[in-house]
Structure 1
Amino acid sequence: MQHKIGIFYGNLSLDISEDSPWRMKRSGFCGMRSKKFDGFMDLDAYDMVTMKLRGDGRCYISTIYTENWVNSPAQEEDNSWQAFVVAPKDEWHVVKIPLEQYLPTWRGNVISSEMEMNPARVVGMSLSVNAEGGVPGSKSGPGDFSLEIDWIKALRTQN
């Protein structure tokens, strides 16, 4: 059986066409999300998310979605926790993100709160990219992007 990878790629544009049938307030963003899990993925026994990636030098955003109990209880939206990911250009690299580095966010903005993620109630994950912002020194701005994903795993590093 041949080993397969996922490729997240496209072109980021900051243009907003006045002729567009879509109501857009901003542009320059692209994301991909897992299907909502049937039940929950329990990451409570783990302390880190690891990914084997080959990138383009851009900063990407890893998001973990947990059962909603903070942002808008009784609503359909999940809580989102985000961390930056930078994969070196044209090199396979294993990225390790401690779960404690994922920050609570609402519509891409960090929430000022003393909340803690409930890793036992994960309902989905995503990767996204934005033309603006990110980690200093990483590639940014409009243009092509490409991120190859070999695998994503949960890891336990502490006893």
Structure 2
Amino acid sequence: MSRFRGILQASLNATKKDLVPPTERFIFNFNSKDELKKWHLYSDSEYGGIFSGNLSLDFIEGAKLKINRSGFCGMRSKKFDGFIDLDPYDTIALKVKGDGRCYISTIYTENWVNSPGQEEDNSWQAFVFVPKDNWYIAKIPLARYLPTWRGNVIDAEMEMNPSRVVGMSLSVNAEGGLPGARTGAGDFKLEIDWIKALRT
């Protein structure tokens, strides 16, 4: 009987080793045109994962949409085919080179809030300060992502469901962000090498 238990325990230990996910997982690797096709780009961009443009605080006369602020630009991944399960991970890492601005990293999860009239995915946002001119690996704990609705933090106790991630985005605002970051109208440029999930 003890020999059987020993074999069973050895088998379980071997299985556990096979079931443990790697300590990191590529979500996006911006090294090919096919990879870039996975994103909706809402600004000037080039092959190689460059997100760039010019932020303006001016309003366009006669615009179809009524807005009360400007100076915003973003790029969003196309909705994943199914879900990405980030439950085994605790951190999002981005290898970026920027311009001293503060960017916004957004994770979209399946909508489970069921708010009346809200059919959009849940969005979770965190600031990413990107130093100027040098490649930098920004690490954002998943716990730092806050629930948002149209760019505003929701004042509610909610927890992200990291096993049901349906997309991601990066955006920039002319105003706001972290202290010390460059703000205001003008050019912006963010180069992105990859985005990974990490278990730290």
Give 1:75-154 correspondences, 5 Å limit.
75-154=118-197
The 1-side partners of 2:192 and 2:64 are apart by 30
1:22 corresponds to 2:47: no
Q: Contact 1:12/1:30 (CA < 8 Å) preserved in 2?
A: yes
Residue of structure 1 aligned with 2:75, choices 18, 32, 38 = 32
Q: Describe the superposition over 1:9-28 as per-residue Cα deviations: whole angstroms up to 9, x where unpaired.
A: 0000000122x443341210
Provide the aligned C-alpha RMSD in A.
1.5
The 2-side partners of 1:67 and 1:9 are apart by 29
Q: Tell me the CA shift for residue 112 of structure 1.
A: 1.2
The 2-side partners of 1:107 and 1:146 are apart by 23
Residue of structure 1 aligned with 2:56, choices 2, 8, 13 = 13
- CA separation of 1:102/1:71 partners in 2, compared to 1, >3 Å: closer, same or farther? farther
Listed as ranges, the gaps of 5+ residues in structure 2 are 1-30, 33-47
Listed as ranges, the gaps of 5+ residues in structure 1 are none
**Rg: which structure is higher?**
2
Give the total of aligned pairs.
Answer: 154
Q: Which residue matches 1:60?
A: 103
The 1-side partners of 2:132 and 2:104 are apart by 16
TM-score (structure 2 length as normaliser) = 0.73
Q: Contact 1:63/1:125 (CA < 8 Å) preserved in 2?
A: yes
Structure with greater contact order relative to length (CA < 8 Å, sep ≥ 6): 1
The 1-side partners of 2:158 and 2:100 are apart by 31
Q: Which residue matches 2:20?
A: none
Specify the SS of the correspondent of 2:143. Answer: helix
Q: Which letter does structure 2 place at the counterpart of 1:96?
A: K
Q: Contact 1:16/1:24 (CA < 8 Å) preserved in 2?
A: no
**More helix as a share of residues:** 2
